[in-house]
Amino acid sequence: MAKKDFFLLIILSVFVFYGCTSLKAVIFKTPIDTTTKRINNQLKKTYGFNDIGVFASNKFDGARLNGFEKVNDSTVKVIIRPENTPINNSAYYSFKIWSKEQKSIYIEFDYPEGFKHRYIPKIKKTDTSWEMLPSENLFKKDEEFSIKLNVSKDTSWVSAQEIVTSKDTEKWYKGVIANKPYVHLKSVGKSRLGRNLPVLDIYKGTKKEKPIVVLLTRQHPPEVTGFFAYQEFLKTILQENNLTNDFLNKYRVLAFPILNPDGVDLGHWRHNAGGVDTNRDWSKYRQPEVKQVASYVVKAAKKSKGKIVLGLDFHSTYKDVFYTNKIRKTTVLPNFIESWFEALEVNIPDYKVNEAAGNSNKPVSKGWFLYGHNAVGITYEIGDATPRDRIKQMGRVTAEEMMKILTKTNIN
Ligand SMILES: [Zn+2]
């Protein structure tokens, strides 16, 4: 090989090497194995007992029903299993049920050994909206959980939380961004099973050098209360007023409305179709969803010369809580968390911020923002049973106060 060609090859190799490694691994203290694992697919079918005239089905997106048994003439049992184990206690169920004649029946819930009932059932009929089943219809004895339900020919959906599928999500974000030319809807790629991974790239004027705020949600399928806050948060940013105008002239928002669409549509308790908790994969990106989303954020920042300053990841747990990073003085927004929490307590009536600060030892998104980008990362958790009106209020006020603080902040 001629000397000139040799040098050309070296230069080319370096170029290819850097091209492929633009997404750097972020190292965490406690690594987690996120290699793909097998999941148990639920058999999609309609179950039923002609003698008692009661039928149940999981033939819809977001369903979770692994078996249906008759206990006696007035009692049936639903078998609920996770996609794989080990898995957190997030016993998600969702099925539809109907009967030949109108009557009251008892439904017993069968979870695997070691898993407890978590979610109060939400009920919906064809033409009604979701309602929580009243407490007099719930029966809890030791580890056993059952409900009393009126069934009829008119199908009832019984679900751990309100069902919000990937199609529902698409319909929602297409609605909120209609007639907003400053919102650029793009796809960052596809999930393991080929579902779309959308992103809303939001900015007014040029995107060049604008600091970037990243909004994530639905890594964990049943966590719709966090998603409800996300919806209100995004809607607030997209309203037309002076605050949003100032904010979007100064900042760029990358909003990912559904990170785990396979898990959502398959009615998973927590994992993606690769049987993995995607919120433990923000280190080496072994799962396609995290890899493509992380890669999009990094490339977008690099291309527009914008700094990633804040990442909010919306989830749900037993109660409202903000999981923050202890390290904050060295981040690009050292005072953001204190200012934000203070403003929330002033602007949300009867509200006290519940903060749990930690070191993000495991590869979660909030740690990725901190260790990978020196940005503020927060896991924004809404309680499973937080009243839905309260969630809307929180979503709105948290967005308004974030915009007020950030528009006043100078990023170096
Ligand atoms: Zn979660």
**If you measure from the C-alpha of residue 251 to the centroid of ligand 1, how many angstroms do you get, rounded to a whole number?**
27
**If you measure from the C-alpha of residue 373 to the centroid of ligand 1, how many angstroms do you get, rounded to a whole number?**
22
- By three-state DSSP, how is residue 249 classified? helix
**If you measure from the C-alpha of residue 219 to the centroid of ligand 1, how many angstroms do you get, rounded to a whole number?**
7
Q: Could you give the CA distance from residue 64 to residue 59 in angstroms, rounded to a whole number?
A: 9
For range 257-272, the mean pLDDT: 98
**If you measure from the C-alpha of residue 286 to the centroid of ligand 1, how many angstroms do you get, rounded to a whole number?**
19
**Residue 14 predicted with pLDDT over 90:** no
Residue type, 239: Q
**Residue 11 predicted with pLDDT over 80:** no
Please answer whether residues 378 and 390 qualify as being in contact, where contact means their C-beta atoms are separated by less than 8 angstroms. Answer: no
Per-chain residues with Cβ under 5 A from ion ligand 1: 220, 223, 315
Those residues whose C-beta lies under 8 Å from the C-beta of residue 187, and which sit 6 or more positions away, are 196, 197, 198, 199
**If you measure from the C-alpha of residue 348 to the centroid of ligand 1, how many angstroms do you get, rounded to a whole number?**
24
What is the DSSP code string of 171-208? Answer: HHHHHHTTT-TTEEEEEEEE-TTS-EEEEEEE-SS--T
Show the domains of the chain with their CATH numbers.
46-159 (2.60.40.3120), 166-408 (3.40.630.10)
**If you measure from the C-alpha of residue 238 to the centroid of ligand 1, how many angstroms do you get, rounded to a whole number?**
25
**If you measure from the C-alpha of residue 242 to the centroid of ligand 1, how many angstroms do you get, rounded to a whole number?**
33
What is the DSSP code string of 24-55? Answer: -----SS----------PPP--EEEETTTTEE
Please answer whether residues 209 and 304 qualify as being in contact, where contact means their C-beta atoms are separated by less than 8 angstroms. Answer: yes
**If you measure from the C-alpha of residue 270 to the centroid of ligand 1, how many angstroms do you get, rounded to a whole number?**
8
> What are 169-209's pLDDT values in tens digits?
999 999 999 999 999 999 999 999 999 999 999 999 999 99
**If you measure from the C-alpha of residue 88 to the centroid of ligand 1, how many angstroms do you get, rounded to a whole number?**
10
User: Which tokens is 333 given?
Assistant: 């927004």
Residue type, 311: G
**Residue 374 predicted with pLDDT over 50:** yes
Cα 162 from chain centroid (whole Å): 14
**If you measure from the C-alpha of residue 380 to the centroid of ligand 1, how many angstroms do you get, rounded to a whole number?**
9
**If you measure from the C-alpha of residue 172 to the centroid of ligand 1, how many angstroms do you get, rounded to a whole number?**
21
Query: ∠ CA(376), CA(380), CA(384), 5° rounding?
Result: 170
**If you measure from the C-alpha of residue 204 to the centroid of ligand 1, how many angstroms do you get, rounded to a whole number?**
31
**If you measure from the C-alpha of residue 315 to the centroid of ligand 1, how many angstroms do you get, rounded to a whole number?**
4
Confidence band for 3, pLDDT divided at 50, 70 and 90:
low
Of 8-17, 46-55, 136-145, 211-220, the one with minimum mean pLDDT is 8-17
**237 dihedral zone (left: phi>0; alpha: psi -120 to 50; beta):** alpha
> What are 97-128's pLDDT values in tens digits?
999 999 999 999 999 999 999 999 999 999 99
Confidence band for 142, pLDDT divided at 50, 70 and 90:
confident
Q: Could you give the CA distance from residue 334 to residue 90 in angstroms, rounded to a whole number?
A: 34
Per-residue pLDDT, 259: 98
For range 22-26, the mean pLDDT: 92
Which helix (H) or strand (E) segment is 389 a member of? helix 388-408
- Higher-pLDDT residue of 11 and 317 is 317
Residue type, 160: A
**If you measure from the C-alpha of residue 316 to the centroid of ligand 1, how many angstroms do you get, rounded to a whole number?**
6
Q: Could you give the CA distance from residue 40 to residue 395 in angstroms, rounded to a whole number?
A: 35
**If you measure from the C-alpha of residue 376 to the centroid of ligand 1, how many angstroms do you get, rounded to a whole number?**
18
**If you measure from the C-alpha of residue 212 to the centroid of ligand 1, how many angstroms do you get, rounded to a whole number?**
23
